[in-house]
Structures are given as structure tokens and as C-alpha cells.
Amino acid sequence: MITVTGTIVGLYESKGGENAKGEAYDGKPRCQLLTADSRAANGQRSTLVDVTLEKPSHDLTEGQKVRIPVSLYARAGNIYFKQSDDIELA
């Protein structure tokens, strides 16, 4: 299992819409995390990760440090993160 750890810098809901078959779908809650990049020698480099929340379990707020187990998938040359288990406060 892959776990993303970071500080929440944004919470929002993606827009719903219609797929190619004309079927409507709802928006999903999303969370933006600022993560420390362990490869940086001075520890100052960070990465912004956008995670789709499938089952938010806490009252999340900006500034909280969290650990989110994720699954990854690729589409159109991009990598996407999706919550795969319960969120833990760090």
C-alpha cells in the first residue's frame, strides 16, 4: 500500500458532468496535500498532491497533517491518486 503524508492546503469538490455516453456523474471531494520531498538534500523541496477522497473519515481542515493510503492510476499521461483506506491524522 502507498501512503501519502502531508499538510492539507486545500479542500474542494470536483465538478460533476456527463460522460461520453451521456450519463451524469456527481463531483467528488478532493484534498490537496503539500508533501516534503525526501530526495531534496536541504529538505526544502515540496510537492503538491491532489487526492480524490472516496471515504473521508474526519472533519478535515486546512493546515492539518494527515496520512492517506492511496491507489494510483494513470490516464492521458497523468498520474492520479485515489484514497484507498481510512485517513489518519499525523
Q: Each residue of 23-40: pLDDT tens digit?
A: 999 989 999 999 876 565
Segments of the chain scoring below 70 in pLDDT: 37-44, 57-58
* Angle ∠(42,48,52) on CA atoms, nearest 5: 145
Average pLDDT for the chain: 87
CB 6 within 8 A of CB 37: no
| Total count of residues recorded for the chain | 90
Distance separating alpha carbons of residues 8 and 34, to the nearest angstrom: 6
In the chain, where are the structural domains located?
Answer: 2-89
Furthest C-alpha separation in the chain? 50
Q: What's the CATH architecture for 2-89?
A: Beta Barrel (2.40)
Residue 61's nearest CA partner among 27, 29, 31, 90 is 31
Q: What is the pLDDT of residue 72?
A: 93
State pTM to two decimals.
0.79
